[in-house]
Amino acid sequence: MRNFKVDGDRLWASLMEMAKIGATEKGGVCRLALTDVDKAARDLFVQWCEEAGCTVSIDKMGNIFARRAGKDDSLPPVMTGSHIDSQPTGGKYDGIYGVLAGLEVIRTLNDLDYETDAPIEVSAWTNEEGSRFAPAMVASGVFGGVFTLEEGLACTDVDGKTIGEELERIGYAGEMECGGREVGAFFEAHIEQGPILEAEEKTIGIVQGVQGISWFDVTVTGMESHAGTTPMERRRDAMVGAAMLVAAIDQLALDNAPDARSTIGVMRVSPNSRNVIPGSVYFSVDLRHPDPDTLAAMTAEAQRQAEALAAERGLEITFEEIWHSPPIKFAADCVGAVQSAAESLGYASQPITSGAGHDAVYVSRVAPTGMIFIPCEDGISHNEIEAATQSDIAAGCDVLLNAMVALATRDEGEARDST
């Protein structure tokens, strides 16, 4: 292993400059997918890639690919990347770190005048978060063959605007087909978004795979009625039913501890009036577990609880799965390249399973894939106070650089010689 090192100061400066786009008062960012703010961040990324000598292309889902040519440009590229979009109250590192770490890999290879055999590509995937357009990871999902192009472009936000319309509006509706081409390997660098690495005092998480995720839309329907004149025993209160089901789903995760997760992230009440008994409540459910059988059992139990509650309270409850991402294991060669790079560089590391979904999940369906985690302060993410240290940011990129060089160089023994 050559033990190349990136320019940590330059990578940090790029992250801080990008964080100005969509900056929030508490130090985070709000860059919802395909908004004008997202466009501004995309434009800056493309500018930086072109300044680094890359050829930039955009596919029909708006995914951006910046390519550094290799000695043999006919070889499938070794790719890295993540996403530019954020949660409404997101942090400065989630997603964008993986994009700019890829750019720093290219900048460092330029500085070293080092030519890999295979091309190097950096990708920025559209709408990873799913906070504006559901489901999450939809554009990498089209790339990976999980969704059709038509399904991806037809996803709508709460105002009825589609991904296709918004790509056209901001000028990122590309001509290139989404997917259908060979990728030699794909890596994604990311903050952990959890507390394990920090607690274990490890710099690098060697990600073995990603736990399964299921999303549901739930609607509880009762009967609207006057809050003051309707006796308690005659009510069909949708809010009470929803509250009882939310508590049951929370208990479901506790019953499957320590690996299970359940989250109710969105709730809408109708008619949403102070003195009217709610007639309808919609809420979202997010269930997660690394074991597919346990996740399936959790889903079945949640649906059973909904049916029982509906019968008990005189309600109608629909419980619809809108997205499922099964648990996955990453490719041994990619996981091994990350581990070898971390060991050669002398960074403390450990195997880890991702609790969050990432674009790497869908890319893994069409390419050998691995991930690199670095710690984040208190494990906090999807929050404006999300934080990571400059040294950890650089270390993760060092590992990324060396893992990519190892897989993009035919003479693997030469690539692993120490300088």
Picking from 262, 118, 98, the residue whose alpha carbon sits closest to that of residue 182 is 118
Q: What is the pLDDT of residue 125?
A: 98
Q: What is the pLDDT of residue 82?
A: 98
Rounded distance, CA 227 to CA 239, Å? 13
Per-residue pLDDT band at 419 (split at 50, 70, 90): very low
Are 232 and 246 in contact by the 8 Å Cβ rule? The answer is no
For the cut 50, the answer to whether the pLDDT of residue 208 exceeds it is yes
For the cut 60, the answer to whether the pLDDT of residue 413 exceeds it is no
Q: What percent of the chain has pLDDT over 70?
A: 98
CA-based R_g, the chain, Å: 23
For 89-144, write each residue's pLDDT tens digit: 999 999 999 999 999 999 999 999 999 999 999 999 999 999 999 889 999 999 99
For 346-398, write each residue's pLDDT tens digit: 999 999 999 888 999 999 999 999 999 999 999 999 999 999 999 999 999 99
Rounded distance, CA 310 to CA 318, Å? 9
Per-residue pLDDT band at 3 (split at 50, 70, 90): very high
Per-residue pLDDT band at 414 (split at 50, 70, 90): very low
Higher per-residue pLDDT: 401 or 135: 401
Q: What is the pLDDT of residue 46?
A: 98
Are 317 and 245 in contact by the 8 Å Cβ rule? The answer is yes
Instruction: Calculate the average pLDDT of the chain.
Output: 96
CA distances (Å), origin 160, targets 156, 165, 270, 271, 298? 5, 10, 20, 21, 32
Rounded distance, CA 23 to CA 40, Å? 12
Are 218 and 306 in contact by the 8 Å Cβ rule? The answer is yes
Q: What is the pLDDT of residue 307?
A: 97
Alpha helices (H) along 113-237: 138-143, 149-154, 163-170, 196-200
Find the length of the chain: 419
Strand 78-83 to 276-277 pairing: unpaired
- Bond into 290 cis (ω within 30): no
Residue 321 CA neighbour count, 13 Å, CB half: 13
- pTM surpassing 0.85? no
Q: What percent of the chain has pLDDT over 90?
A: 94
> Can you tell me whether residue 275 is helix, strand or coil?
coil
Could you identify the residue written with the tokens 């990453």? 330
Q: What is the pLDDT of residue 396?
A: 98
For 185-202, write each residue's pLDDT tens digit: 999 999 999 999 999 999
Sequence-distant (6+) residues with CB within 8 A of 267 are 242, 281, 282, 283, 284
Strand 267-270 to 349-354 pairing: unpaired
| Token pair listed for 146 | 């999980």
Q: What is the pLDDT of residue 356?
A: 84
